[in-house]
A and B are shown apart, each in its own frame.
Chain A
Amino acid sequence: MSTSIEQSSAAPDTSAPSPNPLGGHEKQAPWVPWAMFGAAAVVALGFLLLTGWNVVLFVIYTVVLGTLGTYVLSRVTEGSRKAVDRLVTCLVVSAFGIAMVPLVSLVYEVVRRGAERFDGEFFTASLQGVIGPGGGAYHALMGTLIITLLTTLISVPIGLMTAIYLVEYGSGRLKRSITFLVDVMTGIPSIVAGLFAYALFVLIFGPGVRLGIMGAVALSVLMIPVVVRSAEEVLKLVPNELREAAYALGVPKWRTILKVVIPTAIAGLATGVTLAIARVIGETAPLLITVGITNALNFNAFDGRMATLPVYAYYQLTQPGVPPENAIDRAWTAALVLIMLVMGLNVVARLISRLFAPKTSR
């Protein structure tokens, strides 16, 4: 939108009679900056072929030279205001490019190193009695699924009911303070949530306790605010006419919420919950201090340590054992599986919101 306006506002520059407010300079053809960057690439290539090839330096030199060249040329031909505009455009585009470097390199690195052990044994075997090659993360995968399931079972009812309270019932100071504290709660460091769960269970079971359910409690502290936030947004979108129509028919408020409001919003609620799960499934720190790690299978979240995928990856990396390569390969594969889980959940969330969106809206 703004781009089209920008073009039309620039048009008078070329057609305006002198005295031109920009100093009577011609407007640059659109290919000039591209040509400048091409020339910069050639110069950088030539320079680096003389001093030694380095792909990072090549990109840096090209961008810096091209930006400077565009600026200087524009300053000479178009005046300083246009030149600064072009300089900022170059900087803003480079900033986006810089942000892509970690994303691309990270995904590439994890896929490359994780593919090594991405095999059947990784998903079917535990680490019990494994020294050296082989072994898998079946126990960790199960632990992650169990703890995430428990977290969801704790967080979704509390989060959803809180959102219903905020949207349908709440008013005054209590509503304001809950809204504010939910915001604050989203900022609690994950390790502090872990310490909270530990401190809570120490009062009941004594020091040194490690249980799967502790991890679920810690993760719930992180997940509840996310659920509240997203559910609140979605419930607010439900048109008030639907509620009023139900009231007019004599339907009690609680049945209106259960039978009208929630079914209308169900796609958005499911999307929010899925994204909230994606948010906590990769959490490591709280599980590290509440659930610990084990090499054996443990399906009971109320009895002893459990393995979870992120903690498994952490220990395989930091305490790899005597030939470190095997464990480090397993760590990378665990990281790859984690990324796939999180990305998969994100995709599922988008699919839900697209496929099950209420048909009447928008």
Chain B
Amino acid sequence: MTSTTSAPPAQQPKSRPGDRIFAGIAKGAGVLILVILAGVAVFLISESVPALTASPDEISGDGGLASYIGPLVFGTLLSAVIALLVATPLAVAIALFITFYAPRRLAAGLGYVVDLLAAIPSIVYGFWGIFWLAPRLVPFYRWLEENLGFLPFFVGPVSSTGRTMLTIGLVLAVMILPIVSAISREVFSQVPTLHTEAALALGATRWEMIKMAVIPYGKSGVIGGSMLGLGRALGETMAVAIILSGSAAGITWALISSANPQTIAANIALQFPESTGLAVNTLIASGLALFVITLLVNMLARWVVNRRADFSGAN
């Protein structure tokens, strides 16, 4: 495509040692990436073998490894899915605003402002979540319990600190907003101008143009982008570790009570510094589960995004 590999000259070039060494180093660095990724998997597996082979009563808790990791996986997925449900519509709307609604001159600046959300370290989100957001959400949670308490998500008693699963979902939503909206923006800006102008020329309103020309074109890109966001949310650690008041609640759908399942990443961050022996291996085993989950989600997302790139008119 971008023809970076220049065509070899007709006559065989002189083989210089410098060329061979440099090419070897470059190739070695590339292969090292493969080795590192394989190393992550191998070392995680080798360190979690003791936990995998231990008898169930040695694992903390009392039901063995599966019942230790199960609620953590549930908590991880639940928080990430809430984040995804909140962030995706918001991010798509923001991307539409920046691409089609904001004044041309402001658009780049507004995009940069949204990207600033990605620059803030996750621990600072934790500080903000526990001191600013959580207390302000408590009245809202009380209202939810009074009016929608019949739903399994909003059963009481409401947490008095606001450090609940729903709070985490909202904080994670803010954290993945920039990546989802950045990818959506990129896709929307690649919509062929011919399509959008044709729709407008036929008398479509701006929304009809978006509905008929932009959304069908950008749909798979948005799906891929939100799955990348899901991958981020699954692995987010410090914000969850600080904000969520996790307990051994097991699997529960209650989002606003003080009994919440912990997430894998936050559980590792909280337990690891004080753990020794088999507990460390157990935590590494849970990290392995997280690695596998995020790997699958990311591979699927990349596949969706790349598949779109293959037949988009933009390149």
Instruction: State the A residues within 8 Å of B (CB).
Output: 1-3, 5-6, 9, 21, 56, 81-82, 84-85, 88-89, 91-93, 95-96, 98-100, 102-103, 105-106, 109-110, 113, 157-162, 164-171, 174-175, 177-178, 180-193, 195-196, 198-200, 202-203, 207-208, 221, 224-225, 228, 235-236, 240, 243-244, 247, 252-255, 257-258, 278, 281-285, 288-289, 292, 310, 313-314, 317-318, 331-332, 335, 338-339, 342-343, 346
**A332 to B19 CA separation, bound complex (whole angstroms):** 52
Query: Nearest Cβ distance between residue A247 and chain B, in whole angstroms?
Result: 6
Of B153-161, B232-240, B250-258, the stretch lying at the interface with chain A is: B232-240
**A283 to B119 CA separation, bound complex (whole angstroms):** 11
The answer to whether A288 and B269 have CB atoms under 8 Å apart is: yes
Picked from B104, B121, B298, the residue with its CB within 8 Å of the CB of A283 is: B121
Query: Nearest Cβ distance between residue B286 and chain A, in whole angstroms?
Result: 9
The answer to whether A165 and B26 have CB atoms under 8 Å apart is: yes
Say yes or no: is B81 at the interface (Cβ < 8 Å to chain A).
no
From known contacts A105-B132, A167-B4, A335-B123, infer whether A285 and B26 are also in contact, taking CB-CB under 8 Å.
Answer: no
The answer to whether B34 and A92 have CB atoms under 8 Å apart is: no
The answer to whether B287 and A195 have CB atoms under 8 Å apart is: yes
The answer to whether B40 and A221 have CB atoms under 8 Å apart is: yes
Query: Nearest Cβ distance between residue A163 and chain B, in whole angstroms?
Result: 9
Say yes or no: is B22 at the interface (Cβ < 8 Å to chain A).
yes
The answer to whether A192 and B44 have CB atoms under 8 Å apart is: yes
Interface residues of B, CB < 8 Å — how many?
A: 106
The answer to whether A106 and B29 have CB atoms under 8 Å apart is: no
Q: Is the interface of B mostly helix, strand, loop or mixed?
A: helix
**4 new A-B pairs (CB below 8 Å) besides A184-B302, A282-B121?**
A1-B193, A96-B97, A199-B44, A282-B123
The answer to whether A193 and B290 have CB atoms under 8 Å apart is: no
Say yes or no: is B83 at the interface (Cβ < 8 Å to chain A).
no
From known contacts A196-B39, A285-B237, infer whether A165 and B128 are also in contact, taking CB-CB under 8 Å.
Answer: no
Say yes or no: is B295 at the interface (Cβ < 8 Å to chain A).
yes
Residues of B within 8 A of A314 (CB): 123, 126, 238, 242
The answer to whether A110 and B128 have CB atoms under 8 Å apart is: yes
The answer to whether A339 and B235 have CB atoms under 8 Å apart is: no
The answer to whether B128 and A346 have CB atoms under 8 Å apart is: no
The answer to whether B177 and A99 have CB atoms under 8 Å apart is: yes
From known contacts A181-B37, A285-B269, A317-B242, infer whether A253 and B237 are also in contact, taking CB-CB under 8 Å.
Answer: no
**A336 to B36 CA separation, bound complex (whole angstroms):** 34
| B101-135 interface with A by 8 A CB criterion | 101-104, 110, 113-114, 116-117, 119-128, 131-133
B216-258 vs A: 1/0 string, CB under 8 Å? Answer: 0000000000001001101111100110000000000000000
Residues of A within 8 A of B131 (CB): 109, 113
Of B59-67, B144-152, B196-204, the stretch lying at the interface with chain A is: B196-204
The answer to whether A93 and B101 have CB atoms under 8 Å apart is: yes
Query: Nearest Cβ distance between residue B169 and chain A, in whole angstroms?
Result: 13
The answer to whether A98 and B294 have CB atoms under 8 Å apart is: no
From known contacts A184-B298, A196-B39, A254-B19, infer whether A85 and B206 are also in contact, taking CB-CB under 8 Å.
Answer: yes
Which of chain B's residues has its CB closest to A244's CB?
B6
The answer to whether B117 and A99 have CB atoms under 8 Å apart is: yes
Residues of A within 8 A of B103 (CB): 3
From known contacts A99-B114, A165-B29, A255-B18, infer whether A84 and B268 are also in contact, taking CB-CB under 8 Å.
Answer: no
Residues of A within 8 A of B40 (CB): 188, 192-193, 196, 221
Query: Nearest Cβ distance between residue A170 and chain B, in whole angstroms?
Result: 7
Which of chain A's residues has its CB closest to B2's CB?
A236
Residues of A within 8 A of B120 (CB): 106, 282, 339, 342
Say yes or no: is B100 at the interface (Cβ < 8 Å to chain A).
yes
**A95 to B265 CA separation, bound complex (whole angstroms):** 30
Picked from B117, B127, B241, B268, the residue with its CB within 8 Å of the CB of A195 is: B268
The answer to whether A183 and B26 have CB atoms under 8 Å apart is: no
From known contacts A85-B205, A96-B93, A100-B113, infer whether A162 and B121 are also in contact, taking CB-CB under 8 Å.
Answer: no
Say yes or no: is B208 at the interface (Cβ < 8 Å to chain A).
yes
The answer to whether A310 and B123 have CB atoms under 8 Å apart is: yes
Which of chain A's residues has its CB closest to B121's CB?
A282
Which of chain B's residues has its CB closest to A9's CB?
B200
| B279-315 interface with A by 8 A CB criterion | 280, 283-284, 287, 290-291, 294-295, 297-299, 301-302
The answer to whether B30 and A89 have CB atoms under 8 Å apart is: no
Residues of A within 8 A of B52 (CB): none
The answer to whether B101 and A92 have CB atoms under 8 Å apart is: yes
Residues of A within 8 A of B133 (CB): 102
Residues of A within 8 A of B21 (CB): 254
**A191 to B293 CA separation, bound complex (whole angstroms):** 14
**A128 to B294 CA separation, bound complex (whole angstroms):** 40
The answer to whether B208 and A81 have CB atoms under 8 Å apart is: yes
Which of chain A's residues has its CB closest to B8's CB?
A247
Which of chain B's residues has its CB closest to A334's CB?
B123
**A335 to B130 CA separation, bound complex (whole angstroms):** 14
**A288 to B273 CA separation, bound complex (whole angstroms):** 7
**A256 to B192 CA separation, bound complex (whole angstroms):** 38
